[in-house]
Amino acid sequence: MKKIFAFNWKMNPQSLSQARILADLTRNYANKNNNAEIIICPPFAYLNELKNLKTKKFKNLKIGAQDVFWENSGHYTGEISPKMLKNLGVEYVIIGHSERRQHLNETDEMINKKVLAALKAGLKVILCVGEPLAIRKKGKKIVENFIGNQLKKDLKNLPLNSKSYILNSRFIIAYEPIWAIGTGDSDSPKDAVEIIKLIKKALNSKFYILNPRVLYGGSVDDKNIKNFLQYDKIDGFLIGGASLKIKEIKNIIKI
């Protein structure tokens, strides 16, 4: 199965012209690697312009959004609905990123509603889970319980036919240790794999997800990614800062 590289641009770049350049270069690199699926997740302002990057010629490139609301319409100033994204041609959406949990006070209840709404609309979900440093310091068992509770809350009330979401590759988990996000300090590959194994086990036994795909996210760059690629349990990566640097993009995709 292809490795997934989800590029989360966050609130970058600062102009459409810069976004076009970055997207075009990423697209060209992506087309040279048939063993990778590249997902570009730009800010909402650029989605309409960049959605046309995916063509038959550039089949390895997908477009994703960085967030979504749980209602399809209504009086929700500033929000984007699942149907809007679907009608725009967006394929993936990131939900529950640690920065939104931290800075925008997103709760597991809110994230759960977004997950259900996105799946119902036919979007593919990248659900982010992960522990803060205080939890990590308490040991593996505490981390396992913390992430297990996150999954339980975030995936509450999945429809009975939830297996079809996985069979159709419509659901991905991104494990992002919160203390590693944007700090330059990544988790050790060995420790990350142990947590990813626990996540896959929980998804399989508690949510009947037979073949879950789990990405690692947390200060991944072109220098440390090779260490993570040694472990086949890691199905890909959610990449932030490095996805904005042309040289790093090239080095990451060609691996």
176 belongs to the catalytic site: yes
150 C-beta neighbours (distance < 10 Å), count: 21
* Catalytic hit among 97, 99, 131, 248: 97
Pick from 181, 177, 212, 151: which is nearest to 8 by CA?
181
Task: For strands 213-216 and 236-239, give the pairing.
Answer: parallel
How many Å is the Cα radius of gyration of the chain?
17
Residue pair 172/4 in contact (Cβ under 8 Å)? The answer is: yes
Catalytic residue among 99, 106, 176, 248: 176
Q: Is 220 exposed, middle or buried (0-12, 13-18, 19+ CB in 10 A)?
A: buried
Q: State the DSSP H helix or E strand holding residue 205, giving kind and residue range, or none if neither.
A: helix 189-207
The 8-class DSSP code of residue 188 comes to P
Q: Which amino acid is at 180?
A: A
Which two three-digit tokens encode residue 115? 């997950």
Q: Any bridge partners for residue 107, and if so which? A: none
- In 3D space, the residue among 19, 81, 11 whose CA is nearest the CA of residue 53 turns out to be 19
Catalytic residue flag (residue 97):
yes
Strands 61-65 and 92-95: parallel
**What are the start-end ranges of the H helices in 3-74?**
16-30, 44-50
Catalytic residues, which ones? 97, 176
